[in-house]
Structure 1
Amino acid sequence: MKKIRVLHISTAHQPQDPRIVFKQCQTLADEYEVFCALPNADPSVAPDIHFIRLPYYRRVIWRILITCPLILLRCLPLRPKLVHIYVPEFVPFAYAFRLLGAQIIYEVQENLHKKMHLKTINKGRFLQKAFLWFDHLARQNFYLIFTEHGYLSTYSQLAKPHVVIYNFPLLSFLEPFRRPYGPNPTHPSFFYIGWLSFERAIDTLIKGAALLKVSHPNVAVHLFGQCIFTAELLEAIPDYAAVRDSIHFYGYTDQRLAFPKSAGATAGLALLKPVGDYPESYPTKLFEYMALGLPVVTSDFPLYQDVVERHRCGFCISPYEPQQLADALTYLIEHPDEAQNMGERGQRAVEEHYNWRTEAEKLLLFYKRILYRN
């Protein structure tokens, strides 16, 4: 039997985006013919998915004027039965597929109603009004997927069914990077993956590392992710000069190349400040560290505490207190047996509760619900 054709579209995500490519598209590929339009798409990463390569523009205005019309040109002839979109700027263009009979899913991966003011680019009055209009159109006419339950406090009175599908780890993806817990006590290291910004407590991390270096001069912190700040702002952080040689910035890195560096790390770091939608959103990296068997150090938000303290797999601290960070890291360095136990408890928690398996089932069920009711 010929598979139903579905299409995933983003103008902004990375070509190896773990959720879009390795979780959602590959989950669907067993039952559907999956096409995926992404900037700089790389067909080699998932041979069972049909990739459509798009140009990448950092500014939303160019995505609207160039990328979105290009998507229509390349993808309308595919005549998919369902189109799954990930960015608000494509919402008005999705109506072209709807006119051809396709069902549309709009996925909300961040609560821009609470986060727009944090943007360093793609902000301003015009874009904010455009987002509100796009968002209203999606609420009234499309099916919605949310990556966090907390977003439902903003997104109420939806016209069509919705589902929450958490971005929990895909264990088969992380399996090649799992190693027995074995940090180097004389050269301790810490691991971070994700965007880097002041909202994500880069200043607290650097100040905490400086405090830690007094007692552990060989400490190293490995940071994988794009920096959303200038070199001048980084240099202006007090104590940065003292830890310059200990903080290693790798920039955006494919996870398959970054995660090997977690082997031998003392802990995984996931500090965020209480701004935007962070307090109501799980940081995916938290569960990835747990899946890798690392103890975690994260923010003291109730949502995070419910995971970390319940499973006793790390520390929740104030994202504004470098001394608390230094104390937590010192404890993990100096108590390796307990740190290992924390990592093992976290790993069990992910295997039992916080993994992609149950989310994949929700995704497949939601697709069936949409396609077969129409």
Structure 2
Amino acid sequence: MGKRICHITTVHSANDTRIFIKECQSLSQSGYEVFLIAPETSMPLSDVSVNINFIPKEHSRFLRLARGQWHALKEALKLKASLYHFHDPELILMGLILKLMGKKVVYDVHEDLPRQILTKGWLPLWSRKIVASIAEFIEWVGTKFFDGVIVVTPLIQKRFPSYKTILVQNFPLLGELASIETKNYANRHPYFAYIGGITTIRGISEMIKAIEHIESTHVKLILGGKFSPESLYEQVKSLKGWKKVQYEGFVSRGKVVQILEEARAGLVLFHPVPNHISAQPNKLFEYMSASIPVIASDFPLWRQIIEGAQCGLLVNPLCPQEIAEAMEWILNHPNEAEKMGENGLKAVQNTYNWEKEKEKLLAFYKKLLGEGA
């Protein structure tokens, strides 16, 4: 058994795609003894090679901030790991305590935190810039002490010291979302899919209004994910287009495959807020991996990816009519749409895949742990 590694999250679920399925399983397969500290969950976890240590799931943001990291720290110290790898900015204090105790610590930055704070509806508008500046300072101080920083996008990478920062992008696993029995594209139902967190700024209202514009009674929007806040669910149910929505709730990885093998296209219609414009959403690449075209927000970075691969259509995410026109184009041009899906899959196979990113992660670990090449 190789060196013991401990991943820690108080925000993400234990079966989080990046943390559990990609990073923890890749490290375990490479010979490390991997532990994951995460909030309690009732969801089944199939991979027994990763040891899960559950901590109490706090049901409010305040309690998670106040108690979550202390539960995590207590569990982490029991493990006596060679390296601690945490995934949430609210665990920076815990990371600093681990460093003071002589531990090796890595901070995995999933989001551009200061830009993300600017969009937080639970913060008063006047306070957001102040809180964002404080958060950026705390991250800057923390990374002065941590042994390494892992980031998900090139833009976030620029915010951290280059000598200790590595870019490990959130690309899909090769083949994971390719259907075993690929259905003839032209014979698919007129379904469009959105998988992921369902929020106002990820375009849920615009998706539903767009589907309402399409005259076909058979067209459907299939949603897989959780509403945040939960009250948003009741709000969007009142929209006329909801009658064309099939809401699946939170979906397993297997169910994601089933949804995408039925879909004509995948939707990524994030609003143009600072954290989104520079993001590389995992779902964009997962739709490509599933060999379906994407209908996506027309952001410069996304345009570069989608036009470069010729794998989808770009729209104004705030304009339901424009989104509906893109949907109708997909339905009316099945041969061209199928070709877009094939192009997306090729781009994933050649460039945008986890297997390439995994090698960077493993090399970074070897360097930090003094294991050589």
The verdict on a shared fold, with TM-score over 0.5 as the criterion, is yes
Post-superposition offset of 1:180: 3.4
Deviation per residue, 1:291-320 (Å, 9 max, x gap): 111011001111111111122111011112
User: Distance between the aligned counterparts of 1:178 and 1:139, measured in 2?
Assistant: 46
The alignment of Structure 1 onto Structure 2 pairs a total of residues equal to: 364
User: Distance between the aligned counterparts of 1:104 and 1:353, measured in 2?
Assistant: 29
Q: Percent identity?
A: 30
Q: Which of 360, 366, 369 does residue 367 from structure 2 map onto?
A: 369
106-115 or 96-105: which moved more?
A: 96-105
Post-superposition offset of 1:189: 0.6
Aligned to 1:355: 353
User: Distance between the aligned counterparts of 1:176 and 1:54, measured in 2?
Assistant: 35
Provide closer, same or farther for how the CA distance between residues 329 and 302 of structure 1 changes in structure 2, counting only shifts above 3 A. same
Which SS does the other structure have where 1:35 is aligned?
strand
Alignment check: 8 A CA contact 1:196 1:225 kept: yes
User: Distance between the aligned counterparts of 1:330 and 1:159, measured in 2?
Assistant: 45
Which ranges in structure 1 are unaligned for 5 or more consecutive residues?
A: none
Q: Which amino acid aligns with 1:148?
A: T
Deviation per residue, 1:26-62 (Å, 9 max, x gap): 1111231111111125674211111111222243321
Alignment check: 8 A CA contact 2:186 2:335 kept: no
Q: Which of 167, 170, 195 does residue 170 from structure 2 map onto?
A: 167
Alignment check: 8 A CA contact 2:227 2:233 kept: no
Alignment check: 8 A CA contact 1:299 1:319 kept: yes
User: Distance between the aligned counterparts of 1:373 and 1:122, measured in 2?
Assistant: 45
Alignment TM-score, normalising by the size of structure 1: 0.90
Q: Which amino acid aligns with 1:139?
A: T
Which SS does the other structure have where 1:286 is aligned?
helix
Post-superposition offset of 1:232: 5.2
Provide closer, same or farther for how the CA distance between residues 112 and 217 of structure 1 changes in structure 2, counting only shifts above 3 A. same
Deviation per residue, 1:107-142 (Å, 9 max, x gap): 111112011132244786797677445423322111
User: Distance between the aligned counterparts of 1:354 and 1:231, measured in 2?
Assistant: 33
Aligned to 2:155: 150
User: Distance between the aligned counterparts of 2:326 and 2:23, measured in 1?
Assistant: 35
Q: How does 1:43-62 map to 2 (within 5 A)?
A: 44-62=45-63
Q: Which amino acid aligns with 2:169?
A: Y
Which SS does the other structure have where 2:274 is aligned?
coil
Aligned to 1:228: 228
Aligned to 1:343: 341
Provide closer, same or farther for how the CA distance between residues 135 and 318 of structure 1 changes in structure 2, counting only shifts above 3 A. same
Provide closer, same or farther for how the CA distance between residues 132 and 305 of structure 1 changes in structure 2, counting only shifts above 3 A. closer
Q: Which of 320, 323, 341 does residue 321 from structure 2 map onto?
A: 323
Deviation per residue, 1:154-203 (Å, 9 max, x gap): x14x2851011100001243245672343546x41111101112211222
Q: How does 1:276-315 map to 2 (within 5 A)?
A: 276-315=274-313
User: Distance between the aligned counterparts of 2:210 and 2:44, measured in 1?
Assistant: 41
Q: Which amino acid aligns with 2:140?
A: H
User: Distance between the aligned counterparts of 1:268 and 1:200, measured in 2?
Assistant: 13
Q: How does 1:19-168 map to 2 (within 5 A)?
A: 19-29=18-28, 30-40=30-40, 44-121=45-122, 131-132=135-136, 134-142=138-146, 143-153=148-158, 155-156=159-160, 158=161, 161-168=164-171
Which SS does the other structure have where 2:370 is aligned?
helix
User: Distance between the aligned counterparts of 2:172 and 2:60, measured in 1?
Assistant: 30
Deviation per residue, 1:52-104 (Å, 9 max, x gap): 11222243321233222122222202111110001112111223332443211
Which SS does the other structure have where 1:171 is aligned?
coil
Pairwise CA RMSD of aligned residues? 2.4
Which SS does the other structure have where 1:166 is aligned?
coil
Which ranges in structure 2 are unaligned for 5 or more consecutive residues?
A: none
User: Distance between the aligned counterparts of 1:12 and 1:152, measured in 2?
Assistant: 22
Aligned to 2:6: 7
Alignment TM-score, normalising by the size of structure 2: 0.90
Provide closer, same or farther for how the CA distance between residues 89 and 176 of structure 1 changes in structure 2, counting only shifts above 3 A. same
User: Distance between the aligned counterparts of 1:174 and 1:15, measured in 2?
Assistant: 20
Provide closer, same or farther for how the CA distance between residues 58 and 120 of structure 1 changes in structure 2, counting only shifts above 3 A. farther
